[in-house]
Amino acid sequence: MSGEVNIKRLAQELNISIATVSKALNDSHEISLKTKKRVWDLAKALNYTPNPAASNLRSNKTKTIAVIVPFIANNFFALAIKGIEEIARKFSHHVLIYQTHEDIEMEMSFTNSLLNGRVDGILTSVSSSEYNGTYYKNLVKKIPLVFFDRVYKDLDAYNVTTDDYEISYEATTHLIECGCSKIAYLYGLENLPAGNARFLGYKDAMQKNGLTVSDELVINYCEDESQNLTQITQLIDRHGPDALFSSIEEFVIPTYTACRALKLKIPDEIKIISFSNQATAQLLDPSLTTITQPAFEIGREAATCLFKMLNKKGFGDDQDIVLKSTLVKRGSTGC
Amino acid sequence: MSGEVNIKRLAQELNISIATVSKALNDSHEISLKTKKRVWDLAKALNYTPNPAASNLRSNKTKTIAVIVPFIANNFFALAIKGIEEIARKFSHHVLIYQTHEDIEMEMSFTNSLLNGRVDGILTSVSSSEYNGTYYKNLVKKIPLVFFDRVYKDLDAYNVTTDDYEISYEATTHLIECGCSKIAYLYGLENLPAGNARFLGYKDAMQKNGLTVSDELVINYCEDESQNLTQITQLIDRHGPDALFSSIEEFVIPTYTACRALKLKIPDEIKIISFSNQATAQLLDPSLTTITQPAFEIGREAATCLFKMLNKKGFGDDQDIVLKSTLVKRGSTGC
């Protein structure tokens, strides 16, 4: 036999299947050591050179990637993970999920436990409790890693995010066009670029329209859920806003609950908008106007990025992928 | 020095901290090999015997457990995982999450990947797509494993479940007491004991009250979501039931959507009950009467079971823990 030495040729010479040769070259546990040795010896003897893509794939030994998120009960993250899994399945990788509950110690401890070859790469959406840039600055040198949604902008890393500023600006403008002028802001993710961009979009839209952004109309998210209900109730009670702009999904239930308790009619007496990927948004009473992030697509994009890194395909220069969110107008703004 | 040889004494003799001795005895990666050797040598020389609990804990080298569920976007599983994490945190273990999307191949492939010392134990809620008892019969011999919610009853394993039969019977009786006689059943998990028990509870309550259980009033869950909407719409259209009993949360959105499209008033023209742990159930239009499973507690119980196994504490004879669900009456049954 002569000509190109490829997997097919190795299979023919050894009288075994192409799949077996491929698995043997990938050092798969499914193949006996004896068979592997036969394949490796012949490959060496015939001076077999794997094509670059196959060779790079071979280095991904765990066939597993990890995705680290603050919460899985959040609809955005549940959908993003679904997107990640779709891509991982294409590359025959399992997806480990880990939730940090916004706890930076847990996040670092778990991430560190992954460094010893436990997974091929990591997709992460960082905790909002504090800024942890130094840790990640070192980490991105140690393992293929892609940030999605909650990112650190100043690192040499790939980030997949959404147009937080633009969509917040658009949503605030919608409230103003519906006649609102005293728009309260429920602030989440204040330690992260995403949170800051959302707030800035709101602020700029207010100022552009000659409206005041007052500190007393802004509250910050508390981990203690009952505290959020109390805060929102007090805000409405004391300052009588005509709209609530909720920058994270977690504010939706306390917001509706507060309005009910205060017997405020939505949208007649108060209008509500929230960032949310809740499938039940349309079934709420009244249906909720949402800023819907392309969560599934973010997961897909982030995973695609990671597999490009793993397979050493390169990306070009742009490390920032920004996807567009959608303002879905429903009953809670009602105009 | 004389007296009992414990970790404190080892630490004093070596002039290092108790934490360092403990980590060295646990073969922690945080401790240098040199220090470990000093600790091990002295422990041997002084005939140090660890106390049994510490010794058993020591064998859990990964400090990680895995939880395998069909879906994380389901509120029941999200809450159960939260309960699991609470217990795992007590024992300083990380929790890996894996979702199978009801795919038995994925479930087995991932579970197999855990057998080589990747985790100390597994908590699992099996796929409903087909019966896979033989696989698990072998698996429970290989690794500490606890089933929760979706279990196989005939294995020698620990199961944490809820009173599916009793609560379905109670919910069906509630509908009958509200005046319903033509109650359709939206059947989920039909390959699993939980699904069968829910259906049987409905059936028995119907028959006890002299009502007919007719095949045409029963539909089965489809993975294709749009198909569920079509099925429910056709069921209502053709057979005009006065109530819908949804045995899984996934039917809620298509059920409400179908009633809206058909302009049927809930609860006046049709009443709805669903198994669900949705926090938004009370905010739906109308608010949804739910069978609420103690999801968080199931997670806690299952994890407690697993750590008893890992720490070889034993359980007594009873391998079946059954927790009680609650019928929460709201607007969608309205009586």
The CATH class for the domain spanning A164-293 reads alpha beta
Q: Which range among A142-151, A201-210, A238-247, B201-210 shows the weakest confidence by mean pLDDT?
A: A142-151
Residue type, A237: D
3-state secondary structure of B265: coil
3-state secondary structure of A132: coil
pTM of the model: 0.80
State percent of chain B over pLDDT 90: 65
The DSSP secondary-structure symbol of A215 reads G
Identify the pLDDT of residue B3: 60
Ordered DSSP codes for A180-211: ---EEEEE--TTSHHHHHHHHHHHHHHHHTT-
Q: Which of B96, B109, B283, B290 has the highest number of chain A CBs within 10 A, making it the mutation to test binding with A?
A: B283
HSE-up (13 A, CA, CB side) for residue B25: 23
Report how far residue A275's alpha carbon sits from residue A246's, in angstroms, rounded to the nearest whole number.
Answer: 6
pLDDT of A74 > 80? The answer is yes
Q: Which of A35, A52, A33, A39 shows the shortest CA–CA distance to A9?
A: A39
Report, at the CATH architecture level, how domain A7-50 is classified: Orthogonal Bundle (1.10)
Query: Hey, is the C-beta of A97 within 8 angstroms of any chain B C-beta?
Result: yes
Which structure tokens are listed for A39?
């394949």
Query: Hey, is the C-beta of A95 within 8 angstroms of any chain B C-beta?
Result: yes
Given an 8 Å threshold on Cβ–Cβ distance, is A285 in contact with B280?
Answer: no
All structural domains of chain A with their residue ranges: 7-50, 64-162+295-323, 164-293
Domain B64-162+295-324: what homologous superfamily?
A: Response regulator (3.40.50.2300)
Report how far residue B107's alpha carbon sits from residue B323's, in angstroms, rounded to the nearest whole number.
Answer: 26
The CATH class for the domain spanning A64-162+295-323 reads alpha beta
pLDDT of A154 > 60? The answer is yes
Q: For chain A, where are the alpha helices, taking DSSP H only?
A: 7-14, 18-25, 33-45, 52-58, 75-90, 104-113, 133-142, 164-177, 193-208, 225-239, 252-261, 295-310
Q: Which of B72, B86, B228 has the highest number of chain A CBs within 10 A, making it the mutation to test binding with A?
A: B72
Distance, C-alpha B16 to centroid of its chain:
43
Q: Which residues have CB under 8 Å from A196's CB, separation 6+? A: A189, A190
Fold agreement (B64-162+295-324, B164-294): yes
Q: For A224-274, where are the alpha helices, taking DSSP H only?
A: 225-239, 252-261
Distance, C-alpha B65 to centroid of its chain:
14
Domain B164-294 fold is Rossmann fold (3.40.50)
Given an 8 Å threshold on Cβ–Cβ distance, is B118 in contact with A118?
Answer: yes
ipTM of the complex: 0.78
Given an 8 Å threshold on Cβ–Cβ distance, is B283 in contact with A253?
Answer: yes
Q: Which residues have CB under 8 Å from A215's CB, separation 6+? A: none
What's the pLDDT tens digit per position in B318-327? 688 999 999 9
3-state secondary structure of A7: helix
Identify the pLDDT of residue B41: 80
Task: Give the bridge partners for B96, in sequence order.
Answer: B66
Query: Hey, is the C-beta of B91 within 8 angstroms of any chain A C-beta?
Result: no
